[in-house]
């Protein structure tokens, strides 16, 4: 993975942020965060986070030790200083003395520690950033690290790659307990410059933003090198598929079937390329394709598993079977970590269609695109994992805990959709001129746009 850091560009960004009143350490953090966010193989769609510790003025003007940490649900890609929340670090660090802290109390403590109440809620991984001593901490769900750690013997592989330089912790959901465990591990290995949480992602530390960013690229590159040594040539041996189902045959039936479980209707986002084809046409698709998410962070967008629509399947029945299985898993796991939850809509968010491709499913084109993007990320991770071994994600019960963890669910409501998401706009004469510009403007504001024009090619060039 290429290190994109340039001192010249960093200085220019920091200068312009400082002119807008952003303190230097936060400006450095913003710049490095944007670089992390620019790489889809590191983070996507609100994934990952970053922080810097520095002195901050509280509302009374008194200087206190502060933590600027990414706000929950914000994308690192293109993030600004307003994508961070400033918190009273001493207040957060005192929590480490507690033995237990419920999720509700943790969220209340994070809210209380905010130095500016008007800022967005901080990341669900804030306590980990607070308890670790390094000034700069960056976190990603790098594809290569996920491919290494979603293995039955992933811990041993990771330890072999990194030696004592990186702490490797078993999978645990984010929050207070993981933050405490991470802090204890760092105290035991103070020279460590990174921390991996199995089947979740990687944290890097540094005295400077440049150092912590460089260490992220370094650790990910070493995981990539290890994956390249995988010898398997044919990762997904193909099943015998004679004729792929056509989009025009599948999509309307799938939308109809989904409508029974998504009363607001479903928008589909179709993807197909060489990597997607190899994945969905694989003989063992039912094993690797429905094992679980590559990182728990995806699950609120993709659900734990996709639905598979084989060529001879009745699409309606396949969706209904998925819904029944989802409800069964919900009944089994509900209440195991705390109060009983209400079931989310049980419809799938990703459909895999052998011989054709995949569909991201959402209430809007925006959320359907996120589901499709994350499905493509999962394919990349699973292909790499299968190249060196066998994809083995976190157990279903752990994934349920994340899907129904209140701080994760809050992301769905705080993730800000574009202003016209969920709206459908028909533009007549939209193939050129003002019509085309209007269609593009609606599209960039998040609307679903249908372009009508006498010139079909021109219309397609606008929507394509």
Stretch that binds Zn ion, among 198-206, 306-314, 330-338, 344-352 (CB under 5 A): 198-206
Shortest distance, position 407 Cβ to Zn ion, whole Å = 12
Residue (201 or 389) nearer to Zn ion, CB: 201
Q: Whole-number minimum distance, CB 197 to Zn ion, in Å?
A: 8
What's the residue count for the chain?
Answer: 464
CB of 297 to Zn ion, least distance (A): 5
The binding track of 152-191 with respect to Zn ion, each residue x by CB under 5 A or -, is ----------------------------------------
Based on the shown chain and the rule CB under 5 A, indicate whether residue 201 belongs to the binding site for Zn ion. Answer: yes
Burial class (CB in 10 A: 0-12, 13-18, 19+), 279: buried
Q: Could you say whether residue 389 binds Zn ion (CB under 5 A)?
A: no
Least distance in angstroms from the C-beta of 98 to Zn ion = 22
- Asked if 407 is part of the footprint of Zn ion (rule: CB under 5 A), the reply reads no
Cβ proximity to Zn ion: between 195 and 209 the closer is 195
Q: With CB under 5 A as the contact rule, which of the stretches 61-69, 200-208, 333-341, 348-356 interacts with Zn ion? A: 200-208
**H helix runs in 80-229, sequence order:** 89-94, 103-113, 126-131, 143-149, 154-162, 176-188, 209-228
Could you give phi then psi for residue 216, rounded to 5 degrees?
-60, -50
Listing DSSP states for 333-365 in one string gives HTTSSSS--PPPP---SEEEETTTEEEEEESSH
| Smallest separation, CB 139 to Zn ion (Å) | 6
Q: Is 253 helix (H, G, I), strand (E, B) or coil?
A: helix
Closer of 201 and 306 to Zn ion (Cβ): 201
Number of residues that bind Zn ion (CB under 5 A): 1
Could you please report the per-residue DSSP string of 3-25? ----HHHHHHHHHHHHHTT--HH
Q: Is 46 an interacting residue with respect to Zn ion (CB under 5 A)?
A: no
Return d(Cα 70, Cα 51) in angstroms, integer. Answer: 6
Q: Taking CB under 5 A as the rule, does residue 66 contact Zn ion?
A: no
| 196 φ, ψ (degrees, to nearest 5) | -110, 135
Which residue, 151 or 174, is less far from Zn ion as judged by CB?
A: 174
| 140 versus 281: smaller Cβ distance to Zn ion | 140
The residue (of 201 and 407) whose beta carbon lies closer to Zn ion is: 201
**175 or 201, CB closer to Zn ion?**
201
Beta carbons within 8 Å of 303's beta carbon, 6+ residues apart: 326, 348, 349, 350, 403
Q: Which stretch binds Zn ion (CB under 5 A): 29-37, 95-103, 195-203, 267-275?
A: 195-203
Q: Quote the least distance from Cβ 43 to Zn ion, whole Å.
A: 9
For Zn ion, the closer of residues 194 and 201 by Cβ is 201
- Euclidean distance between CA atoms 138 and 111, whole angstroms: 22
Residue 194 in the binding site for Zn ion (CB under 5 A)? no
Identify the helix (H) or strand (E) that includes residue 435: helix 433-444
Among residue numbers 366 through 385, which ones bind Zn ion (CB under 5 A)? none
Q: How far is the CB of 424 from Zn ion (least distance, A)?
A: 34
Q: Which is nearest to 218 in space by CA: 154, 150, 156, 144? A: 144
**Nearer to Zn ion among residue 54 and residue 295 (C-beta):** 295
Count Cα neighbours of 279 within 13 Å in the Cβ-side half-sphere: 28
Chain residue at closest Cβ approach to Zn ion: 201
Nearer to Zn ion, 196 or 462 (CB): 196
Residue 125 CB, nearest distance to Zn ion (Å)? 6
Shortest distance in whole angstroms from residue 48 CB to Zn ion? 6
Q: How far is the CB of 199 from Zn ion (least distance, A)?
A: 11
| Region near Zn ion per CB under 5 A, out of 66-74, 161-169, 193-201, 429-437 | 193-201
Let me know if 62 is exposed, middle or buried by CB neighbors in 10 A (0-12, 13-18, 19+).
exposed
Of 297 and 380, CB closest to Zn ion: 297
146 touches 295 (CB < 8 A): yes
Closest by Cα among 58, 47, 54, 8 to 29: 54
**Residue 28, H or E segment:** helix 24-37
- Min CB(398)–Zn ion separation in Å: 14
DSSP state at residue 207 = S
What is the SS3 string spanning 47-98?
CCEEEEEEEEECCCCCEEEEEEEEECCCCCCCCCHHHEEEEEHHHHHHHHHC
Instruction: Candidates 194-202, 305-313, 321-329, 357-365: pick the segment binding Zn ion (CB under 5 A).
Output: 194-202
User: From the CB of 178, what's the least distance to Zn ion, in Å?
Assistant: 10
Residues found near Zn ion in the complex (CB under 5 A): 201
């Amino acid at each position: 993975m290429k290190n994109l850091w340039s001192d010249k560009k960093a200085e220019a960004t920091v200068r312009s942020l400082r002119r807008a009143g952003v303190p230097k350490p936060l400006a450095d953090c913003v710049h490095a965060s944007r670089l992390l966010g620019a790489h889809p193989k590191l983070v996507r769609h609100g994934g990952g986070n970053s922080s810097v510790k520095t002195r901050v003025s509280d509302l009374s003007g008194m200087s206190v030790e502060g933590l600027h940490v990414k706000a929950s649900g914000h994308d690192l890609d293109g993030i600004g200083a307003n994508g961070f929340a400033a918190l009273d670090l001493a207040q957060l660090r005192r929590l480490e003395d507690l033995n237990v802290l419920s999720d509700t109390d943790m969220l209340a403590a994070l809210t209380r520690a905010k130095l500016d109440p008007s800022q967005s809620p901080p990341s669900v991984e804030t306590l980990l950033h607070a308890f670790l001593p390094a000034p700069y901490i960056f976190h990603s769900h790098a594809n290569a690290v996920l491919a290494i750690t979603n293995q039955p013997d992933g811990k041993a592989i990771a330890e072999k790659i990194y030696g004592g330089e990186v702490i490797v912790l078993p999978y645990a959901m984010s929050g207070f307990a993981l933050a405490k465990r991470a802090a204890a591990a760092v105290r035991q290995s103070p020279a460590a410059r990174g921390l991996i949480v199995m089947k979740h992602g990687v944290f890097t530390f540094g005295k400077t933003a440049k150092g912590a960013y460089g260490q992220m690229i370094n650790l990910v590159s070493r995981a990539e090198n290890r994956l390249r040594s995988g010898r398997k040539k044919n990762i997904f041996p193909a099943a015998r598929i004679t004729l792929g189902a056509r989009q025009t045959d599948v999509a309307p039936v799938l939308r109809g079937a989904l409508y029974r479980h998504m009363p607001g209707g479903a928008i589909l986002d179709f993807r197909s390329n060489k990597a997607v084809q190899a994945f969905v046409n694989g003989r063992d698709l039912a094993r690797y394709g429905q094992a679980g998410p590559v990182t728990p962070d995806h699950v609120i967008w993709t659900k734990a598993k996709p639905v598979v629509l084989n060529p001879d399947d009745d699409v309606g029945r396949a969706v209904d079977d998925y819904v029944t299985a989802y409800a069964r898993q919900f009944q089994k796991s509900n209440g195991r970590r705390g109060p009983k939850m209400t079931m989310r809509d049980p419809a799938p968010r990703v459909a895999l269609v052998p011989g054709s491709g995949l569909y991201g499913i959402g209430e809007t084109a925006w959320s359907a695109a996120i589901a499709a993007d994350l499905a493509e990320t999962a394919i990349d991770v699973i292909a790499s994992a299968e190249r060196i071994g066998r994809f083995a994600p976190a157990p279903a019960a752990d994934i349920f805990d994340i899907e129904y963890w209140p701080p994760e669910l809050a992301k769905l409501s705080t993730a800000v959709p574009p202003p016209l998401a969920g709206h459908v706009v028909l533009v007549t004469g939209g193939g050129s001129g003002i019509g085309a510009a209007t269609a593009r403007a609606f599209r960039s504001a998040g609307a679903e746009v249908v372009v009508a024009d006498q010139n079909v090619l021109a219309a397609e060039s606008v929507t394509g």
